[in-house]
Chain A
């Protein structure tokens, strides 16, 4: 029985030796080897992600990931995410998205710009901000 195993191992080792070709240019898989994702690619990736979201967990998971980057998600992403929350019938997540934007932007002016950009959508779906809700 051991004889069979030994011969099998030898055969495998032999094939490995034959297939090994030394090359001058070796590719090393360091972690720095990733390509940089541009802002547009990021936007495209998350818009397509939120467009296909079908449940609340997936939506909130995506939002957590998306808002964890060192950037403010573009209004297109926000629109897609808000439409996703309408699709999964969760009103509070839609309000929460605006809270997230407010946390991420640098100043009140930028937040106003986001609110202006998303105003048609907010009016279409009837989403107040948290401040309007508690006013």
Chain B
């Protein structure tokens, strides 16, 4: 690590020089490059654009006009849109993914579960209803009563 330190310092020095040489970034496609600019570079672009606007507007190039409009009313700073381009799709896909994951967990865990007890089968339950009727259990209002319309023991 210590051996690398001077090298890093040199690297930083070189990039610093390069940055200083190009003080005024180009105005073409400023909307895309704005995010990458430092505060000083933004300041210099702004001053340049303000100076340009003092001349006849018909002599401004389309790039300069776009840059001027972008700096004033473009989607940066407080005008950054709350939902970015394609943000809604991202949220939709994310929600779908989360639902798919929960469904996978739900059915995956259930697939490892033991078989339901044999008393939960339909045949068993019908048979126990029959057995209750045979025994005449609950004869006034229940299974063995007259005109009984319930399901008995079947769940």
Q: Please list the residues of chain A having a beta carbon within 8 angstroms of any beta carbon in chain B.
A: 86, 89-96, 125-128, 130, 133-134
Judge whether B65 and A90 touch: CB under 8 Å: no
* Given A90-B53, A91-B65, A133-B65; A125-B71 close (CB under 8 Å): no
Query: 8 Å CB contacts to A: which residues of B54-80?
Result: 54, 56-60, 62, 65-66, 68-69, 71-73
Least CB distance, A102 to chain B, in whole angstroms = 14
Q: Verify if B50 is at the interface (C-beta below 8 Å from A).
A: yes
Interface size class of B (residues with CB under 8 A): 10 to 19
Beta-carbon nearest neighbor of B71 in chain A: A92
Q: Which residues of A contact B53 (CB under 8 A)?
A: 89-91
Beta-carbon nearest neighbor of B56 in chain A: A126
Beta-carbon nearest neighbor of B66 in chain A: A133
Q: Please list the residues of chain B having a beta carbon within 8 angstroms of any beta carbon in chain A.
A: 50, 53-54, 56-60, 62, 65-66, 68-69, 71-73
Q: How far is the CA of A93 from the CA of B53 in the complex (A)?
A: 11
Q: Which residues of A contact B57 (CB under 8 A)?
A: 86, 91, 94, 125-127
Interface centre among B57, B58, B71 (most CB of A within 10 A): B57
Q: How far is the CA of A100 from the CA of B153 in the complex (A)?
A: 73
Beta-carbon nearest neighbor of B54 in chain A: A89
Interface centre among B53, B59, B66, B71 (most CB of A within 10 A): B53
Q: How far is the CA of A128 from the CA of B65 in the complex (A)?
A: 9
Beta-carbon nearest neighbor of A125 in chain B: B57
Beta-carbon nearest neighbor of A135 in chain B: B62
Judge whether A92 and B72 touch: CB under 8 Å: yes
20 cross-chain CB contacts under 8 A: A86-B57, A89-B50, A89-B53, A89-B54, A90-B72, A91-B53, A91-B65, A91-B68, A91-B69, A92-B68, A92-B73, A95-B69, A96-B73, A125-B57, A126-B57, A126-B58, A126-B59, A126-B60, A133-B66, A133-B69
Least CB distance, B34 to chain A, in whole angstroms = 14
Judge whether B69 and A130 touch: CB under 8 Å: yes
Q: Which residues of B contact A95 (CB under 8 A)?
A: 69, 73
Q: Which residues of A contact B65 (CB under 8 A)?
A: 91, 128, 133
Beta-carbon nearest neighbor of B31 in chain A: A134
* Given A90-B53, A91-B53, A128-B65; A96-B60 close (CB under 8 Å): no
Judge whether A134 and B66 touch: CB under 8 Å: yes
Apart from A89-B54, A92-B72, 20 more pairs, CB < 8 Å: A89-B53, A91-B53, A91-B60, A91-B65, A91-B68, A91-B69, A92-B71, A92-B73, A94-B57, A95-B69, A95-B73, A126-B57, A126-B58, A126-B59, A126-B60, A127-B57, A133-B62, A133-B65, A133-B66, A133-B69
